[in-house]
Structures are given as structure tokens and as C-alpha cells.
Amino acid sequence: MIEILLKNKKFNKARSVDELSPASLDFHVLQFLDYSDYEIKWLEKNYGLDFSIMKHYEDIEISSHFLENENQASFHFSFPFFNQNKKITEEPIFIIISESGLFLFTNSKLDHSLNKMYLNKFKSLRELVETKDILEFQFGFISDYFADITENLARKIKILANTILIEKKFSNYEMDSITDYNFSNMLVKELLIETTRVYRLYLKSNWEKKMDLKEKIRADLNDLAVVSDYIQFNFDRLDDLKENISSKIDLEQNHIFKMLTVVTVCISLPTLIAGVYGMNFEQMPELRNSYGYPIALIAMLCSAILPFIYFKRKKWL
């Protein structure tokens, strides 16, 4: 699927590049969803684009995130997003800017998620006039997106915190949720660092001299720095929840140990008395006493009740 924003502010779609005519295609943005090798070769032939950045995008080298030459500047961003299972995963986005316009490459899953979050995205794009404005919009959109997904994640962590701290309830589900949110937060942090790196690389590039977006990029970097601080706050909150749960577990274990101690004492003393009088030695005067049996029972009963009363007063129970 190809989505096209024309310079006359109209928005069109095409199923294949065979439906497009490069000679008459006056566009601002060409967005390719679930792009194919055939489409890549078509773009290479008709627009002379270099797709080196897509070949090794999983590497950590500078060239896998930002690459420029005289004809184009290429960007690789990775977007975190919630998949169908409500788990955060990542998907790559490639942006190539040239004299012809802006080319955007992503997959339909991520695009569907973005369209649900930003219903007026294309309406805002239609208001722009120059390719420079389109690129500026993309930079701002990316920084806003990281802020929004971090806020979304923070909201989920806050709900979990209310469940654990206010309602004082937790189970394996809450423990698993903390682990999932911690991983999601870490992924967002990692991708945010990569995005910040791309922005800084672009600031030093020759294409920045053509576009002159320095002030805008610096403002976006400041926004990303604030988002990074908020991500750290999410980490701190999750650590506090872990410590809170650990403290509750320790308290419950202490309570269980106290209960076991009380039960052990209350049972062991009567057992001791029963053991002594169960020895059947010949020289045991209590055996010949007519009240020996009830006296032993009363002693056993008292030895069980008195420790119970003692521990009750000590507030162990």
C-alpha cells in the first residue's frame, strides 16, 4: 500500500507503484506500507535513492541510523508501540529526504497504531507547504510520540501502584505486571536514546545547513530530555513497588513464623507432659494417685492455654 500526499494538498492511495507515473507525480510525501523489494528497485530507478540504511538497520553503527550524501539524507527510527496483546514492541521507520520529496517506509501494524493515536495527522500535513516543513513536522511528531507513549505507560504504572499501595492487594499478576512494565520502560528508554542520537547526528550534517531546522531540533531534543526524566521516574516508581511488595512479603512471613512459634510452643509443652507420664517407670508416685489422670490432663491443658494467653498479650496473634 502506498499513501501519497500531493503538493496540491490532496491525499491519494495506490496499491502498487505500477499505478504511479513519476513524471507527473508532484508530491510532498510518499509513504510505503509493508514495502517490497520491487518497490525499492522502482524508487532506485526513478528517483535515484540510496537504500543502504535499510540493509543493516539492526547494527549500532552511525550509518545504520543516519546516512547522508549529496542527493539525500536517510533516517532510521525505531518506534515502540502497543501490539494486539497490549505489549510494547518495536518496529523500524525509515525516512529519506531528497529534492523530490520525503519518502517514508514502515509497516501496516505500526501505521494502524499511529493512525488510531493521531487522527488528525494527515490533516496537519495538508497544511504544510514545503518539504522542509514536512521534515520539521516529522521530527516534532516523533518527539511527541515518545512523550505520549511514555505518558500512556506511566498511566498504567500508576493504576498498578494504586492497586498495590491503596487497595493493599497483590498477587502473581501484579508481580508479572511490574516485570512487563519494567521491560517496556527499558525498551522505550533504549529507543529514545537512539532517537536522540539521530537528532544530534542530523544537527552536525550538511543537510541541516540546507534545511536550517537547528532551533526546532534543539527544542525537540529538550522535549526528549524531559521525556527521559519521566521514564526514569517510571523506573523509580516500579522500584518502589518492588520494595513495597518485598516488605509486605517479609511482614507476612514474619507473621507466619510467629504463628508457627505459638503453635509449636502450645503443642510442645503438653506433648512434653504426655511424654514424661508415658514412660511407665515403676517409681512414679503420680501413677498411684487416684487424681493423677485428671491432674495430668489439667496440666497439659494449662500448658497449652497459658502460652497462648502470653503471646496474645504480646500481640503476636
CATH code for the structural domain at 250-313: 1.20.58
Residues of the chain with CATH 1.20.58: 250-313
In the sheet that holds 72-82, the strands lie side by side as 11-14, 2-6, 27-33, 102-106, 88-98, 72-82, 66-68
Contacts of 42 (CB under 8 A, 6+ apart): 17
Please say whether the beta carbons of 241 and 164 come within 8 A.
yes
* Amino acid identity at 76: H
CATH code for the structural domain at 1-117: 3.30.460.20
Place of cell 515502540: 80
> What pLDDT is stored for residue 255 in this prediction?
78
Residues of the chain with CATH 3.30.460.20: 1-117
Q: For residues 317 and 313, what is the distance between their CA atoms, to the nearest angstrom? A: 8
> What pLDDT is stored for residue 134 in this prediction?
81
Query: pTM of the entire structure?
Result: 0.75
Q: Distances from the Cα of 317 to the Cαs of 233, 246, 247, 259, 302, in angstroms? A: 39, 22, 19, 7, 18
Report the relative pairing of strands 66-68 and 27-33 from DSSP bridges: unpaired
For every one of its 317 residues, what pLDDT tens digit does the chain have, with 9 covering 90 and above? 888 877 777 878 888 888 888 777 887 888 888 888 888 888 888 888 888 888 766 665 655 788 888 888 889 888 888 877 778 888 888 999 888 888 889 888 877 777 777 766 666 766 766 778 888 888 888 888 899 899 989 998 888 888 777 766 666 777 788 888 889 899 999 999 989 988 998 888 888 888 888 888 899 899 999 999 989 998 888 888 888 777 777 777 777 788 888 888 888 888 887 887 777 777 777 777 777 778 778 888 888 788 878 777 877 76
Please say whether the beta carbons of 230 and 154 come within 8 A.
yes
Name the CA dihedral angle for 98, 102, 108, 109, rounded to a multiple of 10 degrees: 100
Q: Nearest 5°: CA angle at 224, between 226 and 184?
A: 90
DSSP 38-54: HHHHHHHHHH----HHH
Cell numbers found for residue 281: 517407670
